[in-house]
Chain A
Amino acid sequence: MPPQMPPYVPLLILGAGALGFAVFTLVVSHLLGRPRPNPAKDAVYECGMPAIGTARERFPIKFYLVCMIFILLDVDAAFLYPWALVFRDLVRDGWGTFAFLEMTAFVALLGGGFVYAWKVGALDW
Chain B
Amino acid sequence: SGEIKRFLRDDGMVKVSRTLKENGWKIKQTAEKISYEQGREATLEEISKLTELSIEDIVMAMEANVEVESIYKSVYQ
Report if A and B associate in a common complex: no
**B: which residues have CB within 8 A of A?**
none
**A: which residues have CB within 8 A of B?**
none
